[in-house]
Chains A and B, each alone.
Chain A
Amino acid sequence: MALIVKELVTILRDRRSRMVLIGPPLFQLFLFGFAATLEVKNVSLAILDQDHGYWARELTRRFAGAPIFTTIRSIPGMADIRPLIDRQKVILVVNIPQHFSADIKAGRPAKVQVILDGRRSNASQIVQGYVAVIVQNLDRDIARAQGLPPPPSVIVARNWFNPNLIYRWFTVPNLIGTIGMVLGLSVTALSIAREREIGTFDQLLVSPLTPTEIIIGKTIPSLLVGLLNGTVFLLISKFLFEIPFTGSLLLLYAGLTLYLLAVIGIGLFISALAQTQQQAFLGSFVFIAPAILLSGFASPVENMPDWLQTFTLINPLRHFIVIVNGLFTKDMPFETVLTNAWPLALIALVTMTSAVWLFHRSMK
């Protein structure tokens, strides 16, 4: 107990570690909350109007009216397409061919060509989705103007849980897990490595405390710091980013506790192996980079090859992201949370036990 208090005091008293605990996590939450988005906004496009007719003007007007297109350039000829796309001045060029309006008037099929920058193929595909809707609406209105019946069926699209597909609703809850991991590892792995270099850790090892007691003494303060940090993030997500929280708060804290225990277990395991700060830092980095990339945060787990999907099961962040996302927007029920929570408990158990064993060995 005295050890727990001592560790907690150490973490909070050192100005440098206090800075690491408060400043960077908040900075990252705000920066990434705003910056990490796959949403497409402020798109620049160019229109090559070779028709100059009524419907071409109408189409141009509709592009100008769509909020995602903020810059619209009009270009005089085919030769202007390549330099604009090449230099990434625009992500797409809409090419309205000659006789476009005449074809429509005569009931002949008219075509609109769009050229998109494949160097940014994800953004291009999303933009194409917007273009497709604009063209489809034009098509419908032309049919109506010509007195033709509407198509017999229609697609009714709904996005559940996040109707306007605001990317921040996805990013910010995930950051509770991602930044929590970076923090959890730096208060365990990096701080123990530093104590080793200074020599204070050896004093702990030669004290009458058993390895299990040392591990508990290191775990509980880190857990408290992590929970405190999680609470701050939760409040910011709810009140500053205004992300709806639909699930059970109790389940979230239970999930967060298990997740932090798993992360701290990994941190203790790394610190049991690392002799220097540099090794601890590299060790944490070698763990954090794959953990974030293979978590479902950077890109969905289901897009990965099957063998890699199996591998992600040992990644605590992958499980926690399902829980935190589910509880924020989807009101995830207890059973589903449980299926994602028990792997966390298992990871925590395995890493903690190995850490105890490694410390035990190093004491002999």
Chain B
Amino acid sequence: MTPDASGRARRFRALVVKETIQVVRDPSSWLIAIVLPLILLFLFGYGVSLDANKINIGLVVQDTSADAQAFAAAFGDSRFFNTRTAHTRRVLNEDLVAGHIRGIIVIPADFTARLKRRTAQAPIQVISDGSQPNTAAFIQNYALAVWQNRQRQRAASNGVKFHQAVSLEPRYWFNEELLSRNFLVPGSVAIIMTLIGTLLTALVIAREWERGTMEAIMATPVGKAELLAGKIVPYFVLGMFSMLVCTVVAVLLFNVPLRGSYLALGLVSAVFLCPALGQGYLISAITKNQFVASQLALMSAFLPAMMLSGFIFEINSMPAAIRAVTFILPARYFVSSLQTLFLAGNIWSLLLPAIAAMLALGGLFFTLAIRFTHKRLD
């Protein structure tokens, strides 16, 4: 090693050590790196659930015959519904408007009479609260399944051969229990990492620009790229540490399976931190102001990661223009990689393109960041 190179290495090491001490000493970086991820992970894990497992519904049985009661009982016994019985619909209508129940199932007075007549089909009315569209869709699905089961039982107990020409056999891969938590928790890890990678970096480095400590470092012979790397390395380590904390909580507390390898998980996380940190640094270098940096980081990183990454909302259902925007979001690739690593395993055919995309975005952000770091005092 030439004396110049070794001096350079020593200088860089000193810079990293200085930055690390600074990060470790700052209480707000601990807050963002450990406390905030834990709070958010708990919130996502416990608070956000799409499993409509016990939907409150009202049941109106206007027909007292055994047949009608048996249909009513089938809905009452279903593990998906919490039923409340009434004789008229009026009371339940009010509950539906108030949101105490999400649907009403009506078995009308002439149900048995029409059931016995072979020419007309006896209707069971299923009303759902469309103001909660996702729950409404589930009510209709569940009601159909309950009704089909009851039909089959009724035919069997009447000794009639139940005619069903075609039946459906659904198989859910990777998540047989259909727990929304299993895909929401890995997705939320991606959001938390976006928060740490981009928001923390943008905010803290913007503060240095504001306070003028950045200029102080610039007065030293440190190069632009070195300066950037020196600032980034401690946050990279901090981010990987948060990732570890999140993984442990996801697996041990929320019982999310981890079917991929730790190595692949570490690799994907490290790769994701490149665009995330690069974006944070870029924001701070452009704005040089905490308030604007925090707003910009929220708008350009956190909110898109929440809304457009496919973490909870389906990318395919978005309009084409917004779908196009999702391709430049690092979080999009990280969400699908994490969901795959946790639930499905090391599927390299999905992970490798995602890694390539994240690296490309990282390269772009860093190039821009270096360009925006002017080594002069404005």
The answer to whether the Cβ of A195 comes within 8 Å of any Cβ in the partner chain is no
Q: Are A300 and B52 in contact (CB under 8 A)?
A: yes
Q: Are B175 and A158 in contact (CB under 8 A)?
A: no
CA distance A169 to B71 in the complex (A): 33
| A110-163 with Cβ < 8 A to chain B | 110-126, 128-129, 131-133, 135-136, 138-139, 142-143, 146, 148-163
The answer to whether the Cβ of B6 comes within 8 Å of any Cβ in the partner chain is no
What are the residues of chain A within 8 A of B135 when measuring CB–CB? 300
Q: Are A299 and B48 in contact (CB under 8 A)?
A: yes
Q: Are A282 and B133 in contact (CB under 8 A)?
A: no
CA distance A282 to B36 in the complex (A): 10
The answer to whether the Cβ of B318 comes within 8 Å of any Cβ in the partner chain is yes
Q: Tell me the minimal C-beta distance from B37 to chain A in angstroms.
A: 11
What are the residues of chain A within 8 A of B133 when measuring CB–CB? 38-39, 159, 162, 165-167, 169-170
CA distance A22 to B36 in the complex (A): 29
Contact with A along B150-189 (1 / 0, CB 8 A): 0100100000000111111111111110111011000000
What are the residues of chain B within 8 A of A308 when measuring CB–CB? 46-47
What are the residues of chain A within 8 A of B317 when measuring CB–CB? 37-42
Q: Are B130 and A114 in contact (CB under 8 A)?
A: no
- In the complex, which residue of chain B has the Cβ closest to the Cβ of A100? B166
Q: Are A35 and B128 in contact (CB under 8 A)?
A: no
Q: Tell me the minimal C-beta distance from B306 to chain A in angstroms.
A: 9
Q: Are B121 and A152 in contact (CB under 8 A)?
A: yes
Contact of A153 among B50, B115, B319 (CB under 8 A): B115
Interface size class of A (residues with CB under 8 A): 35 or more
A194-B291 in contact given A293-B43, A304-B47 (Cβ < 8 Å) = yes
A289-B43 in contact given A121-B183, A153-B121 (Cβ < 8 Å) = yes
The answer to whether the Cβ of B343 comes within 8 Å of any Cβ in the partner chain is yes
| B305-328 with Cβ < 8 A to chain A | 307-308, 310, 312-314, 316-319, 322
* With A109-B165, A117-B172 already in contact, 18 other A-B pairs whose C-beta atoms are closer than 8 Å: A114-B170, A116-B171, A118-B175, A118-B182, A120-B314, A121-B179, A131-B170, A138-B166, A148-B163, A150-B121, A157-B128, A158-B125, A159-B130, A160-B128, A289-B40, A299-B312, A300-B135, A328-B131
Q: Which A residues form the contact surface with B (CB < 8 A)?
A: 16, 20, 24, 27-28, 31-32, 34-44, 55, 83, 85-88, 104, 107, 109-126, 128-129, 131-133, 135-136, 138-139, 142-143, 146, 148-167, 169-170, 190, 194, 277-279, 281-282, 285-286, 289-290, 293-294, 298-300, 302-305, 308, 322, 325-326, 328-333, 336, 339
Q: List 12 A-B contacts (CB under 8 A).
A: A38-B312, A41-B316, A110-B167, A120-B310, A121-B179, A122-B50, A122-B180, A138-B166, A155-B126, A290-B43, A294-B47, A302-B54
